[in-house]
Structures are given as structure tokens and as C-alpha cells.
Structure 1
């Protein structure tokens, strides 16, 4: 299987940093993801949303990179949400309990709305909600 180079683009929407992940999330994605995280959090956003709409294959190292983002978000008290996961990866995020630490939404509008209105998971993020919208 050919891999797609990982890219990460950052934009701000309504005070929320959106990191658009493109390509495969594996060890080669670490520099792009680190750079995007630094750019996103330097703006002191109210929250960060990870877009998986254009991501491809996510291997165990890619999962570990997401865990690293969650740890950084928690340390800096930045709520984090995600959207655009395929059913397969959504299930993996639930099985691995990543979904316990970030709300997983169906689309960007839901993720942004949840971030703005504080409907963050009732977990380490410290607010109410079920994390599913």
C-alpha cells in the first residue's frame, strides 16, 4: 500500500483552532503534526479541533501521536475535539479510549459548536456532555 505524505494545515474559526490532517498518520507525520500543534496553540484558541476528513491510514504510531496531542492539550487545559473519522477509526478511538478524552463529532460545524458552547466530554477536560454532539 502506498503511503500519502502527511500534511497538517491550521486555521482559526470562531476562536477555535482547526488542524486539518491530510494523508497518512504514521511516524513520518510527526514533524507536520508538531508544527501544526505549535501554530494552533500559539494563537491561544478556546479549543482545538482535529479534522480527520482527509486523513488516510492511521497506524499505531499515528495513534500515539494523537495521544501526545491529547496530553499536551490536557497539560495546557485546551479542550480538544475531532471530526471526520471513518467508522473504522471512530471505533478504534472508542476501543482505545481516545474518545474518552476528546469528543468525536460527525462534522466541523458540530465540533466548533461544541467547542464554543463548552459541551466538552465529562472527563479530564472538566465539563459536561456526552462527547457525541
Structure 2
């Protein structure tokens, strides 16, 4: 079985970067995520949204790559948020405790709405 390499497309909104993820989130994903983060740093976003709508598969090393990205964002006082997760993966993020550090939103429409 050949893994679908993770592709990350970055676009920007005021004070935010959105990472559109597609493919598989495995050990191979770490460099793509870190490269996207480095590119986004130049825009100095307060928030980085991870759009998981195009992600077909996530394994434990993929979750480790997300944790690494989360640690880097927290060190820079940035907030990481997720949306577009399939229900199984949203539940996995909840059980693993990731949702305590990275809120999981229901849709992109909610990204920058005032509270």
C-alpha cells in the first residue's frame, strides 16, 4: 500500500493562517507541516487553523506531528485550531487530550466570527 503524501496549502485571513491539509497524516507529514508553519510565520498570524477536510487517514506518528506543531505554536504564543475532522478523528483528538490545547471547530464559517 502506498501512502498518500500529505499536501499543505496555506492561505491567509486577517490575523490568521489556514492550512488546508490533504492526503494522509503519517510520519511523512511532519516536514510538510513544519514547512507550512515556517511560511506562515512570515505573516505573523495570531491563529493557525488546520483544515482536516481533505485528510484520509491519521496514525499515531501523524498525531505526533500535530503535537510538535502545537508545541511550536504555543511557544510563539499562537493558537492552533482544527476543523473538518471526520467524527472518528474528532473523537480521537478528544480522547487523546489534543482538544484541550487545540479547539476543534465544526466549520470554516466559524473561524473568525466574533464571540
Q: TM-score, normalised by structure 2?
A: 0.93
Aligned-partner Cα distance in 2 for 1:19–1:103: 15
- What corresponds to 1:92 in structure 2? 92
Q: Which has the higher strand share?
A: 2
Residue pairs, 1:41-80, within 5 angstroms:
41-80=41-80
Aligned-partner Cα distance in 2 for 1:95–1:28: 24
Aligned length: 115
Aligned-partner Cα distance in 1 for 2:108–2:14: 12
Aligned-partner Cα distance in 2 for 1:61–1:50: 17
Aligned-partner Cα distance in 2 for 1:53–1:14: 22
Q: Which runs of 5+ in 2 are unaligned?
A: none
Q: Which runs of 5+ in 1 are unaligned?
A: 120-133
Q: Where in structure 1 do 4 or more consecutive aligned residues deviate above 4 Å? A: none
Aligned-partner Cα distance in 2 for 1:56–1:40: 24
Which one has more relative contact order, counting CA pairs under 8 Å at least 6 apart?
2
Deviations 1:112-131 (A, max 9, x none): 33xxx4x6xxxxxxxxxxxx
| Shift in Å, 1:13 | 1.4
Give the RMSD, CA atoms, in angstroms: 1.3
- What corresponds to 1:20 in structure 2? 20
Q: TM-score, normalised by structure 1?
A: 0.81
SS in 1 for 2:78: coil
